[in-house]
Amino acid sequence: MAWSSRLLLITALVLMALGSSACSHRGVQITEVPPPATDDTTLGPGDVFSVRVYGEDAMTGSHQVAPDGTINFPLLGAIEVSGLEPTQVAERIQTELRDRDLLRNPHVSVYVEAYSSKRVSVVGAVANPGTFPLEPGMTVVQAISMAGGFSSLADRDGTVLTRHVADEIIRYRVPVARVTKGQAEDIEVAAGDIIFVPERLF
């Protein structure tokens, strides 16, 4: 199943669970402890990253991972990068440049610009609900901003982050109104996270 289809299915299931308490999200078991971070920073098709080869401007630039998991690197041609960490990509490029006698002692760094293969879903009382590419260091507040911000009926402090960790589903309430006032901590999001903003109770 494609990543986007999988995320939509997960989102639908979460909405069903949260929807059962639409009038009151007190019925949803929500932890007050921030969810454990996930460390999946591997690259996949659609991801964009920059490569810097120190002292070699012609080899420095941005690359997007092709559907077959490769990039086309100057002088090296197609290089398989899908499933690799950024540091592993840098090591692979360094090795290729050295083994092909193109550079004697290359120094390469890789910085991820956008994880298009990894997405976050923002649903509920926001201007433009949907799924969005995960950006390095993205937080709950930033993800909501990508969804156009809150609607006029949003219960900002009732925002819920849902994360799958192993076989467990963890839900964490993020008091966004307090976060924006510096009274609470924002949470860094991870691939597959679902952010649900309920409507206010009247």
Nearest one of 200, 195, 198 to 143, comparing CA atoms: 195
Q: Which of 82, 83, 61 is nearest to 73 (CA)?
A: 61
What number of other Cβ atoms are within 10 A of residue 6's Cβ? 12
Q: What CA dihedral angle connects 132, 134, 140 and 144, to 10 degrees? A: -20
> Identity (one letter) of the amino acid at 50?
S
**Quick check: 190 and 40 in contact, CB under 8 A?**
yes
CA separation for the pair 127, 8 (Å, rounded): 18
How high is the pLDDT of residue 117?
A: 87
Contact (Cβ atoms closer than 8 angstroms) between residue 155 and residue 197: yes
The pLDDT value recorded for residue 29 is 53
Specify the 3-state DSSP secondary structure of 188.
strand
- Are 60 and 108 a contacting pair, CB within 8 Å? no
Domains detected in the chain: 47-114 (3.30.1950.10), 119-197 (3.10.560.10)
Q: Which helix (H) or strand (E) holds 97?
A: helix 86-99
State CA 124 to chain mean position distance.
19
> pLDDT tens track of the chain, all 202 residues?
555 555 455 555 555 544 444 444 444 456 655 666 666 789 999 999 999 999 999 999 999 999 999 999 999 999 999 999 999 999 999 999 999 999 999 999 999 998 888 899 999 999 999 999 888 889 999 999 999 999 999 999 999 999 887 777 888 999 999 999 999 889 999 888 999 999 988 7
pTM, full prediction: 0.66
Kindly list the distances between the CA atom of residue 157 and the CA atoms of 35, 169, 197, 199, 202, in Å, as whole numbers in the listed order.
17, 21, 9, 10, 15
The torsion region of residue 61 among left (phi > 0), alpha (psi -120 to 50) and beta comes to left
pLDDT reported for residue 114: 86
Cβ–Cβ contacts within 10 Å for residue 75, how many? Answer: 12
What pLDDT score was predicted for residue 135? 85
